[in-house]
Structures are given as structure tokens and as C-alpha cells.
Amino acid sequence: MAQVIQFHPRAIATAHNKAVSLTALPPLALYVHVPWCVKKCPYCDFNSHELKQDLSDLNEAKKWESAYIDALLRDLESNLPDVWGRRLVSVYIGGGTPSVLSASAIDTLLAGIRARLPQVADIEVTMEANPGTLDTGKLEGFRDAGVTRLSLGVQSFNDTLLQRIGRIHNGRQAHDALETAYRLFDKVNLDIMFALPQQTMAELQADVAAAMAYAPTHLSYYHLTLEPNTFFHRHPPILPDDDLALDMQEHIEAELAHAGLHHYEVSAYAAKGHESLHNSNYWRFGDYIGIGAGAHGKISQHNRIFRQTRFKHPNMYLESMQKNGHAIESTSDISCDDLPFEFMLNALRLRDGASVAEFHAATGLTIADLEPALSAAQAKGLMEKQHDVLRVTDLGWRFLSDVQGMFLTGAKK
């Protein structure tokens, strides 16, 4: 049974009476955003833009790539004074579709990062890729450049479903990319979606079976949602109803659990030792520099924690880099009032939760600063504390957004 923590009113410290004070700094990661895709998917609300360059013209492609890679490395340099003496634990190249870049461009990028920031010996370097932009030679080039983990945006193996969600690849290309990826990389993630337009349970089961045939060690399995400012939001497709979508989710969870994959985060499943180090750093409120158009970053110093955003549109980003030597649109400190919500928003996504010690190390605050939201969540059976670890219960897992929102309410009081 969940333990409900009681505090004497006079013993409860209020976050707004404090200033940030960290005795140690969290792990540091780097996120690199590549904002271009061959085609914009109708469900995508990420900062991505259809690529206008003619990649068949090698001179034009090299000129375009070189300009962006140079901007990224100068962007990174603008943040170096904020992170002197720290080592990178992971690099994540996301988008967009980073695999529209050539292997030589990725090699230049990763070599430039290594020259500017020290890294841990076993650094995880993840790169997102679309099966429709890959061939064996390109994948070998990415591996040789230093990519250690490939994240493949498969979404489905069904040609009809792939067409309905606007993907540029087909099922055969997805299989070909996976077969090559598993041969070349020790760590591979499959991005797959469910509750796709008019998807049946039989089609979902076939997708799960196709994925599991590769004995995957990591999957990100997402429920398709209609996000604002997308084509699907303006022109909604016919989607499975809530009951069918729930049946699909339960089938996914059962099959992946049977295969020994731990549902360690809301949408992520992994074999032991294959969890995403980069994403886990986000969820544990670690630090990350964000470079590239529209990238976000979060950096801790001993007396402050702040977030940064880069200019979103690629043209504006490149123009700012050229004129100003940086592309930072905004920098804002996270106040102690907001830290409990900021931490719990991320940590509660982890099925195993986070310890009180981790909360203190990342924020400088104590468990008292989580009140009264923590006690309220425990009283409703949404959270529990066991062996100094805070996590959501099975009930709380089903209503995670509501649990997270309770800490936002607490932060505003």
C-alpha cells in the first residue's frame, strides 16, 4: 500500500523563499536539430520543413549541408562558456529527418562536436532516420562517422497505412532498413504508431508481429494524436474509436512484455540495458544543450537553472548565426517555484519513478517542496513512495497528465 507522507505545517519549506543552490551538476547531453524532411507528414507538429534543395545536384547538396553544419558548430561554440569542464554523456540528432544529410556531413558534425566538448568514453550517439532516405552505404557511413544508435521511423509495415499517414517509404523499405540496421548497429530503436486512420485490430497485430520478428531491444510505440497546426487537425481522418485504441494498446503492452521488454516510459519499451540514455537524461531532469533551428536547451549552474530556445525557422536561424554569431531567441531562468513541476513533469513519465535524492540533486529542493500536491496524489491513489522512490501507481499511469498537472497547481500556490 502506498505510504502517505505527513508534514507538520511549520516544517514545510516553501520554494518561493529559496534560491537555486546545487551542490553538483547533472549529466550533460547535446541535442542537434535538423529541420528538413523530404515531405511533411500530415500528423507532424515538429519543427520540420520540406526540403527544397535538389540533392541529386551534388554541388548544391554539399553547399547546403556545409552551411548548416558550420552554423551548428558555431551555435555549439556560443554555449561553451555555460558548460566549461563538463563532459557529454549523449548526443541525439533529431528532426525533421536527419538522414537527408549525407554520411560525410554527419561525420563533419560529430568530429566538430568531439573537438569542442569532451565526452565520456561510452557516449551514446543516436540519429533518427527515415527508411525512405537510406541505403546500405549511407548507413555504413553513419556508423563509421560515430553514430552508435539508430532510431528508425518505421511507423507501420503496412503499405496502405503508410500511405494514409503520408510516409515516403513502404513496408519493403522498412524491412530492408531494419535488416541492415541490425547488422550494423548494436542499438536500434523502432518508432511505430498505432490507432492509425482506419487501422483494424488485425492490422495492428500484424505490425506488432512484424516488429517482434526482429527481436528488438527498444521500441517507441506512439498513439497517433491529432495535434494543432497539422493537416490532420484541419482535415481529421477516420480513426479507431477509444475502445479499439485501448484494445490495441493492451495488445502492444502484452506482446512486448511477453518478449521481455520493460515498459519503462510512457511510450518506450526496452530490454534491460537498452534504455535510451539520452531520453532518460531528459526524464531525469538532466541538462542538454540544444543546437539547430528551433532547438531547446536546459542548463544547470550551481546558482541557476535556465532554458534556451533557438530561432525556429531555418532561414531565420541561419541569418542570426551569420549576423550575430548565435541563434538564441530567448533565455529564461527556471524559478524555485517552478522546479517541482518541471522535475515531476519529466520524472513521472518513468515507470520506476525517481528517488527523493535525485529530486534534491537536480533541483536543490527537498521533498517538502513537493507539497501539497504529493500528499493529494497519494491520497487519491495516484502516487506512492516506496524505499525513498516516488512514482505513479497503476491508476496514476492511466491518468498521468492529471497527476503531472497536480504539481503545476501546487507550483502556482
The pLDDT assigned to 377 comes to 96
pLDDT at residue 80, rounded to an integer? 97
Query: 283-296: per-residue pLDDT in tens?
Result: 999 999 999 999 99
Q: Can you list the alpha helix ranges (DSSP code H) found in 325-372?
A: 339-347, 356-363
Mean pLDDT of the 48-69 span: 80
Is 44 within 8 Å of 231 (Cβ atoms)? no
- pLDDT-derived band at 17 (thresholds 50, 70, 90) equals low
> Is residue 194 predicted with pLDDT exceeding 50?
yes
Q: What confidence category does residue 12 fall into, taking pLDDT thresholds of 50, 70 and 90? A: very low
What is the reported pLDDT for 5?
A: 33
* C-beta separation of 31 from 114 below 8 A: no
pLDDT at position 236 is 96
CB 184 within 8 A of CB 143: yes
* Residue 55 confidence (pLDDT): 63
C-alpha cell recorded at residue 236: 481529421
Report whether pLDDT(4) > 60. Answer: no
Mean pLDDT for 89-104 is 95
Output the pLDDT for position 16: 53
Query: Which of 114, 113, 115, 116 is closest to 84 using CA atoms?
Result: 116
Of 6-20, 51-65, 157-171, 323-337, least confident by mean pLDDT is: 6-20
For residue 152, is pLDDT > 90?
A: yes
* Three-state secondary structure readout of 151-207: EEEEECCCHHHHHHCCCCCCHHHHHHHHHHHHHHCCEEEEEEEECCCCCCHHHHHHH
Q: What is the mean predicted confidence (pLDDT) over 156-171?
A: 97
* Distance in angstroms (rounded) separating the CA atoms of residues 212 and 199: 19
Q: What is the mean pLDDT of residues 26-42?
A: 95
Pairing of strands 389-392, 383-386: antiparallel
Sign of CA dihedral 86, 90, 96, 100: positive
Residue 19 has what pLDDT? Answer: 84
Percent of the chain with pLDDT over 70: 93
Whether 11 shows a pLDDT value over 60: the answer reads no
Residue-level pLDDT at 74: 97
What is the predicted pLDDT for the residue at 56?
A: 66
Residues 240-253: tens digit of each pLDDT: 999 999 999 999 99
Indicate if the pLDDT at residue 1 is higher than 60: no
Q: Label residue 409 by pLDDT band (50, 70, 90).
A: low
Question: pLDDT, tens digit, for every residue of 349-404?
Answer: 999 999 999 999 999 999 999 999 999 999 999 999 998 999 999 999 989 999 99
pLDDT on residue 411: 47
What pLDDT does residue 62 have? 78
Mean pLDDT of 269-281: 96
